[in-house]
């Protein structure tokens, strides 16, 4: 089970800010961030790794899914 952050349709830096809020509340439950732009993927990956998290990314017809966990 994941905590889902749906940032599709939002422009940077909003997806990163939404991710930052979710990471600040991290309780061990993996976070799934949904975005639809590659620039958001790269920015969220960079931010999450700088915070000590692991990030897995996958792509489907609706955009990108990033799973963030420690």
Of the pLDDT bands very low, low, confident and very high (cuts 50, 70, 90), residue 12 is: confident
Enumerate the domain spans of the chain. 3-69
Active site residue 57: no
Of 12, 37, 57, 67, which residue is the catalytic one?
12
Q: Evaluate if residue 2 carries a pLDDT over 90.
A: yes
Using only C-alpha atoms, what is the Rg of the chain? 11
CATH number belonging to domain 3-69: 3.30.110.40
Q: Give mean pLDDT, residues 15-28.
A: 97
- SS3 string, 5-37, reads EECCCCCCCHHHHHHHHHHHCCCCCCEEEEECC
Span 10-31, average pLDDT: 96
């Amino acid at each position: 089970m994941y905590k889902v952050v749906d940032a599709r349709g939002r422009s940077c830096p909003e997806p990163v800010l939404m991710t930052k809020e979710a990471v600040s509340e991290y309780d061990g439950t993996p976070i799934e961030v949904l975005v639809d732009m590659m620039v958001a993927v790269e920015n969220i990956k960079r931010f999450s790794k700088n915070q000590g998290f692991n990030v897995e990314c996958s792509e489907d017809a609706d955009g990108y899914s990033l799973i963030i966990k420690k």
